[in-house]
Chains A and B, each alone.
Chain A
Amino acid sequence: QVHLQESGPGLVKSSQTLSLTCTVSGASVTSSGHYCSWIRYRPGKGLEWIGYIYYSGTTYYNPSLESRVSISLDTSKNQFSLELTAPTAADTAVYHCARVRRDSTSWQYFENWGQGTPVTVSS
């Protein structure tokens, strides 16, 4: 059974960096054919894909957020992290981590999800 759990501050100032961690159990963050992803849900805006990191370390980001986002792996702790610089109130959201599988047909799918953690950005 694969389990993902997000952690991090629930309140972030706009002068800080929004930093979240996803701890994975039951699977390795370096499993072949898997991406580790972040997605957020903003009230009134819906779901938004932030980006993901492939097991090899290659990153892919949403072009609308690319200049402010960084996703990294910590293989020693079986975790992956999100950093979002210069956050504003528009970044207030529930942040979910997820594992995306790329299978032999090249289909990609959001195989496992974390329950999500709410983050509020204040000035």
Chain B
Amino acid sequence: QAVLSQPPSASGTPGQRVTISCSGTTSNVGSNTLNWIQFAPGTAPRLLIYGYDQRPSGVPDRFSASKSGTSASLAISGLQSEDEADYYCATWDDSLNTWVFGGGTKVTV
């Protein structure tokens, strides 16, 4: 059972917008910034978003994130076939003293 809650799946057609939620508590999502990480087949996991809504160099601006209280979300706009992957949220938990992850959301295009 993952500490952070994510829907197991999401889907859309090319060009559409897909949103993935990540729900936690005041000791994790409510207190710290999130990482959103993409796990695509055959490649190393890739950081998509960190901080409030920062993208590392090379990550397209089709990926964006937001947070309110103990809930956060990742949005993928202009969905492309290459976006088919598993997406995870992660943050530090002040009570558990460890990084915690969501259960992952499989995005199908």
A residues touching B (Cβ–Cβ < 8 Å)? Answer: 4, 39, 46-49, 62-64, 96, 98, 105, 107-116
Contacts and interface: CB of A to CB of B under 8 A. Distances in A.
Q: Specify the main secondary structure of chain B where it touches its partner.
A: strand
Interface of B: 2, 33, 35, 37, 43-47, 50-51, 54, 56, 88, 90, 92, 96-104
B100 A115 contact: no
A15 to B, nearest CB: 28
A46 B44 contact: no
A38 B83 CA distance: 25
A63 B50 contact: no
Contacts of B99: 39, 49, 62
Contacts of A47: 2, 88, 90, 101, 104
Given A46-B2, A110-B90, A105 B51 contact: yes
Residue with the greatest number of chain A CB neighbours at <10 A, chosen from B43, B45, B96: B45
Contacts of B50: 107, 109
